């Protein structure tokens, strides 16, 4: 690890000036705030929120004003005569009206209480007469009988959908962290490769210079000179490749995070989270409490049960009972409309009974019941997959967490070994082949450590995504954006 911190220090010097130094956590936060994926997640969250508000409005009192102002008409219309013939008569009138309606649904029964008041004015211009008709007030109740109650089922399912969408938003934020973590380490590895390639180029040039002096003295062979020249060419090629990789990975990281600063980016090598212990039981408990998938398991079963209830409610007798009580009156002026109005009453039972449907109703019910059973099996299978995914990820994280120290130690050993090999070669105590082997092992050890860090942090963010729990702070993951509504 000490060698990596030396590399980091050199990287900071190489990127001095207008360089922006960023840690993994800063890059993740930047992506959560500025990336297109984050903005899409917010848009989806807003959409689900207003869908939820629309659902809630279905259970609130509704008041509406409707009317026709004016209702002017001047035309000719056909009039049927007593002898069966038709005459076209001119008409010229204004028929205007205003209606104020009130309604309130009853969730428990699926019925609706409603009320209305109405005023209508008819002005016959041909006969120069005006007539008013009004309903001072009328109240009524409409009750479906033996039918599917959508209000009751929606009240059970829609809150699940909304809570599912809230957790899905948090998941989308954690998915952004997983994605940008990969881009972060792509650039970090490219920067480490450039620093390693630069150091190797400098060391190879120095060793080749010494070897040329030894060659003139006859202490090294032509073959060793050629080998060092080849190493020098490869080192220069590695520098060029690393610079190209930095340009590509920097552009990718900027594009995803929405980072608009034009300065160079120098990434800080993250530390290993070796002091964190994660148990599968803890992650499973948090996942079933927090994840949208866990809510979806309940929601999917509720929807299947709803479909069965709907199929049964559309089979057999379907009836609606409507009762209405109110007052109405016609008069030549508005005050008389509201003076001693006549009462009006309505009691109506509308029904429909399938006499012969060739088993259609039964087939619908059986199909819905079969789908309910299939959903139960599918949900159970998805639960098992859900659990297995979490257990596997916990095992992977703990394994990587244990191995990271060994990888760091291997990097330090390889760096020390290369340093000793370089000094021994200069003193003439080591062959060019052994020097090349030490050179390659040193490079590979540094890349292995960065890749090990990448795997470890990737597994950590994956655990956050699977559980929606912050294991560093020991609390559930949440975002303040929900509190804005």
- Tell me what percent of the residues of the chain surpass a pLDDT of 90: 49
- pLDDT score of 316: 78
Confirm whether pTM is higher than 0.85.
no
DSSP codes, 381-447? HHHHHHHHHHHHHHHHHHHHHHHHHHHHHHHHHHHHHHHHHHHHHHTT-S-HHHHHHHHHHHHHHHH
DSSP 102: E
- pLDDT score of 485: 42
Take residue 466 and report the two structure tokens written for it: 């699977």
**Mean pLDDT calculated for residue range 338-365:** 86
Residue 218 or 292, more confident? 292
**Confidence at 11, pLDDT banded by 50, 70, 90:** very low
Residue 484 or 256, more confident? 256
Cα distance between residue 275 and residue 102, in whole Å: 64
Lowest-confidence region among 17-21, 132-136, 337-341: 17-21
Cα distance between residue 281 and residue 289, in whole Å: 12
Per-residue pLDDT of 399-455, as tens digits, reads: 888 888 888 788 788 878 778 877 776 776 766 667 667 777 777 788 888 888 999
**Mean pLDDT calculated for residue range 94-119:** 94
- pLDDT score of 435: 67
Q: How far is CA 72 from CA 55, 75, 249, in A?
A: 39, 10, 71
Number of H helices, E strands in the chain: 10, 11
- Is pLDDT above 50 for 10? no
| Bond before 70 cis per omega within 30 degrees | yes
- pLDDT score of 15: 41
Q: How far is CA 18 from CA 165, 252, 471, in A?
A: 42, 20, 35
**Confidence at 64, pLDDT banded by 50, 70, 90:** very high
- pLDDT score of 222: 80
- pLDDT score of 298: 95
**Confidence at 17, pLDDT banded by 50, 70, 90:** very low
- Is pLDDT above 70 for 8? no
**Mean pLDDT calculated for residue range 459-482:** 85
Per-residue pLDDT of 117-131, as tens digits, reads: 999 999 998 888 999
- Is pLDDT above 90 for 218? no
- Is pLDDT above 90 for 472? no
Please work out, in degrees rounded to the nearest 5, the angle formed at the alpha carbon of residue 145 by the alpha carbons of 139 and 151.
Answer: 75
- pLDDT score of 467: 92
Per-residue pLDDT of 252-294, as tens digits, reads: 999 999 888 777 889 999 888 766 778 899 999 999 999 999 9
Cα-Cα-Cα-Cα torsion 449, 450, 455, 460, nearest 10 degrees, comes to: 100
Per-residue pLDDT of 330-351, as tens digits, reads: 888 888 888 888 888 889 998 8
- pLDDT score of 3: 43
Cα distance between residue 482 and residue 163, in whole Å: 11
- Is pLDDT above 80 for 2? no
- Tell me what percent of the residues of the chain surpass a pLDDT of 70: 92
Lowest-confidence region among 74-88, 214-228, 315-329, 332-346: 214-228
Per-residue pLDDT of 138-180, as tens digits, reads: 999 999 988 889 999 999 999 999 999 999 999 999 999 999 9
Cα distance between residue 61 and residue 114, in whole Å: 10
Return mean pLDDT, the chain: 86
Per-residue pLDDT of 34-62, as tens digits, reads: 999 999 999 999 999 999 999 999 999 99
**Confidence at 190, pLDDT banded by 50, 70, 90:** very high
């Amino acid at each position: 690890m000490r060698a990596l911190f030396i590399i980091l220090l050199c990287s900071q010097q190489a990127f001095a000036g207008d360089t922006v130094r960023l840690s993994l956590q800063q890059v993740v936060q930047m992506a959560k705030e500025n990336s297109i994926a984050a903005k899409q997640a917010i848009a989806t969250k807003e959409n689900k929120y207003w869908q939820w508000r629309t659902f809630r409005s279905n259970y609130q009192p509704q008041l509406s004003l409707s009317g026709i102002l004016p209702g002017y008409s001047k035309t000719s219309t056909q009039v049927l005569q007593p002898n069966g013939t038709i005459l076209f008569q001119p008409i010229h009138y204004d028929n205007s009206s205003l209606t104020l309606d009130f309604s309130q649904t009853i969730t428990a029964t699926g019925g609706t209480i409603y009320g209305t008041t109405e005023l209508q004015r008819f002005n016959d211009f041909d006969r120069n007469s005006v007539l008013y008709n009004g309903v001072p007030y009328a109240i009524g109740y409409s009750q479906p009988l033996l039918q599917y109650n959508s209000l009751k089922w929606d009240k059970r399912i829609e809150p699940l959908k909304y809570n599912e969408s809230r957790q899905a938003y948090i998941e989308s934020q954690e998915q952004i962290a997983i994605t940008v973590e990969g881009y972060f380490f792509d650039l970090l590895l490219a920067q480490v490769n450039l620093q390693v390639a630069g150091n190797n180029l400098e060391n190879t040039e120095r060793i080749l210079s010494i070897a040329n002096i030894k060659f003139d003295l006859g202490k090294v062979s032509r073959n060793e000179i050629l080998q060092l020249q080849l190493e020098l060419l490869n080192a220069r090629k590695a520098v060029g490749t690393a610079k190209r990789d930095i340009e590509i990975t920097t552009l990718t990281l900027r594009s995803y995070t929405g980072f608009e600063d034009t300065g160079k980016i120098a990434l800080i090598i993250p530390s290993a989270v070796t002091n964190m212990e994660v148990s599968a039981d803890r992650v499973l408990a948090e996942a079933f409490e927090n994840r949208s998938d866990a809510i979806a398991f309940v929601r999917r079963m509720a929807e299947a049960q709803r479909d069965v209830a709907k199929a049964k409610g559309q089979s057999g007798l379907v009836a609606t009972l409507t009762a209405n009580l109110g007052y109405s009156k016609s008069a030549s002026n508005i005050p008389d409309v509201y003076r001693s109005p006549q009462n009006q009453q309505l009691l109506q039972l509308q029904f429909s009974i399938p006499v012969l449907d060739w088993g259609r109703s039964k087939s619908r019910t059986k199909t819905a019941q079969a789908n309910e059973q299939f959903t139960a099996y599918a949900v159970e299978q998805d639960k098992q997959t859900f659990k297995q995914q979490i257990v596997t990820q916990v095992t992977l994280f703990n394994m990587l967490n244990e191995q990271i120290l060994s990888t760091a130690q291997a990097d330090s050993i390889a760096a020390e070994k290369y340093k000793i090999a370089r000094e021994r070669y200069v003193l003439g105590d080591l062959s060019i082949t052994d020097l090349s082997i030490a050179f390659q092992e040193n490079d590979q050890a540094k890349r292995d450590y960065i890749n090990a860090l990448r795997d470890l942090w990737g597994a950590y963010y994956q655990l956050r995504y699977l559980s929606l729990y912050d294991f560093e702070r020991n609390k559930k993951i949440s975002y303040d954006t929900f509190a804005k509504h």
